[in-house]
């Protein structure tokens, strides 16, 4: 009698339930065009996710095999974007970036623009990193990594940020050793003096930590050639298309990219956009792009003074380069696999089987769009990248048009 009841129940379950035995995936992204530069993929493919990891990337995965299916037709399916230049050590202090109001809250800006990883560009130093870690990094859903400022208190403005006695190699190294998963390198910038000491100390930290140096080129008193000469392969130069104190450093008088900059690139130094509020000019970027001097990464320099200016967000910067002639896979590479390599996190920035399921579904819109630089100049283009849906670790974090939502019926 008991056996009969058991088999009857199984029979009823089989008829009433969807075919659960066939559902081996949590989420299936179906019908999109996968663009995964690390793996040399740019073609229509389906992507299946299980337990927060990429489980299968192939054509025609059966929708019956997944508990949830996203219709990605007409969309790009990219690895989650990585922004290597942000200022997200937000807090209540007025007038400064470190723990202050000049920084912005990461989750407010990340997923809605396809970003799953943000790298803070040295807003904190060894004194303030523990506070940044507790109050922002651990409290955010965005994956946040950080360059550590050689200035102990981080970006607190003049005069504290330029105080040589607060730039301590050992203390900075100790914090980097304490947080090896989160701190990806050392940063120097926002120093207006004539001493080489801050730069040399930051470089020394980077060398000892075996991590890259991130140079914000706010070192106006130091000769560019010497800076580039001291930098090592793998170090990162940001504000590539910017002007510091009206110094249009990237090009010579004839509009050609400076030989020293070309040499630095040959040597293996990376060039980040670092758009920010004042560090991106079409008059530099357009000629540079025409000479194939493309950025390695699309860092935004996100903060309170860039977010509502010409910068807007990383997809807007990517759209600028797309419209200036950079091809689409190269633009995506500069927002995914390149930055992952630059911060020595090769586990990120691609859709390999077993990788963390960070995925950005992006629409390439056609129309007439205006793009604004830091000088107030406009470039018109016919393509605009827009974030439709963002997944981090298999979880949907942003869904512009309700791709994952149930249809409403009254």
The three-class DSSP label of residue 117 is strand
C-alpha neighbours within 13 Å on the C-beta side of residue 158: 5
Residue 147, both tokens:
């360059």
**CB of 190 vs Zn ion, minimal distance in Å:** 8
If the CB atoms of residues 161 and 301 are measured against Zn ion, the closer one turns out to be 301
- In terms of Cβ atoms closer than 10 Å to its own Cβ (0-12, 13-18, 19+), residue 395 is middle
Task: Please report, as ranges, the residues that interact with Zn ion according to CB under 5 A.
Answer: 121, 301
| Shortest reach from residue 123's CB to Zn ion, in Å | 8
52, 11 Cβ separation under 8 angstroms:
no
Kindly write down the DSSP assignment for every residue of 142-169, as one continuous string: SEEEEEEESSTT-S--TTGGG-GGG--H
Q: How far apart are CA 216 and CA 85, in angstroms?
A: 10
Rounded to the nearest whole angstrom, what is the least distance from the CB of residue 161 to Zn ion in the complex? 12
Question: With respect to Zn ion, which residue has the nearer C-beta, 38 or 187?
Answer: 187
- Looking up tokens 């633009």 gives 331
CB under 8 Å to 360, separation ≥6 — which residues? 76, 77, 78, 79, 80, 81, 114, 115, 116, 387, 389, 390, 391
The residue of the chain with the least Cβ separation from Zn ion equals 301
Q: Rounded to the nearest whole angstrom, what is the least distance from the CB of residue 276 to Zn ion in the complex?
A: 6
**Minimum distance, C-beta of residue 242 to Zn ion, in the bound complex (Å):** 10
Least distance CB 217 / Zn ion (angstroms): 10
Q: How far is the CB of 22 from Zn ion (least distance, A)?
A: 50
Minimal distance, residue 121 CB to Zn ion, in Å: 5
| Nearest CB to Zn ion, comparing residues 301 and 333 | 301
- For residues 147 and 122, the answer to whether their CB atoms sit within 8 Å is yes
Q: Which is nearer to Zn ion, 32 or 278 (CB)?
A: 278
Residue 288 CB partners (closer than 8 Å, separation 6+) = 240, 241, 250, 251, 257, 294
By beta-carbon proximity to Zn ion, the closer residue of 301 and 399 is: 301
Q: Is the dihedral of CA 242, 245, 249, 253 positive or negative?
A: positive
Interatomic CA distance for residues 211 and 49, integer angstroms: 32
Question: Closer to Zn ion at the Cβ: 37 or 125?
Answer: 125
* CB nearer to Zn ion: pick between 37 and 152: 152
Q: Which is nearer to Zn ion, 121 or 202 (CB)?
A: 121
């Amino acid at each position: 009698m008991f056996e009969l009841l058991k088999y009857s129940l199984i029979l009823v379950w089989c008829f009433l339930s969807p075919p659960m035995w066939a559902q081996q995936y949590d989420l299936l992204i179906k019908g999109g065009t996968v663009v995964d530069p690390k793996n040399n993929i740019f073609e229509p493919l389906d992507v299946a996710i299980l337990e927060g990891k990429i489980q299968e990337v192939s054509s025609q995965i059966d929708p019956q095999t997944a508990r949830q299916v996203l219709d990605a037709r007409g969309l790009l399916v990219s690895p989650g974007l990585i922004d290597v230049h942000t200022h997200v050590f937000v807090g209540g202090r007025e007038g400064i970036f470190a723990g202050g109001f000049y920084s912005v809250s990461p989750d407010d800006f990340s997923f809605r623009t396809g970003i799953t990883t943000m790298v803070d560009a040295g807003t904190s130093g060894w004194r303030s990193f523990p506070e940044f870690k507790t109050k922002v990094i651990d409290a955010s859903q965005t994956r946040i990594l950080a360059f550590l400022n050689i200035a102990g208190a981080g970006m607190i403005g003049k005069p504290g940020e330029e105080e040589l006695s607060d730039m301590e190699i050992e203390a900075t190294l100790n914090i980097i050793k304490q947080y090896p998963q989160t701190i990806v390198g050392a940063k120097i910038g926002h120093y207006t003096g004539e001493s080489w000491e801050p730069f040399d100390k930051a470089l020394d930290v980077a060398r000892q930590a075996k991590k890259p140096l991130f140079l914000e080129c706010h070192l106006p008193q130091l000769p560019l050639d010497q800076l580039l000469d001291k930098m090592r392969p793998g170090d990162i130069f940001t504000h590539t298309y910017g002007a510091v104190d009206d110094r249009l450093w990237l090009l010579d008088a004839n509009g050609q990219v400076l030989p020293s900059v070309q040499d630095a690139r040959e040597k293996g130094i990376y060039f980040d956009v670092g758009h920010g509020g004042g560090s991106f000019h079409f008059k530099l970027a357009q000629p540079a792009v025409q000479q194939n001097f493309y950025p390695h990464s699309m860092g935004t320099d996100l903060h309170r003074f860039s977010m509502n200016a010409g910068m807007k967000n990383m997809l807007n910067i990517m759209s600028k380069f797309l419209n200036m002639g950079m091809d689409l896979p190269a633009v995506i590479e500069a927002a995914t696999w390149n930055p992952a390599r630059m911060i020595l996190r090769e586990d990120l920035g691609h859709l390999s089987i077993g990788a963390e399921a960070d995925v950005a579904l992006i629409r390439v819109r056609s129309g007439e769009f205006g793009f604004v630089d830091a000088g107030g100049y406009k470039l018109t283009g016919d393509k605009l990248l827009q974030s439709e849906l963002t997944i981090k670790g298999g979880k949907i974090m942003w869904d512009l048009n309700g791709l994952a939502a149930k249809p409403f019926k009254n």
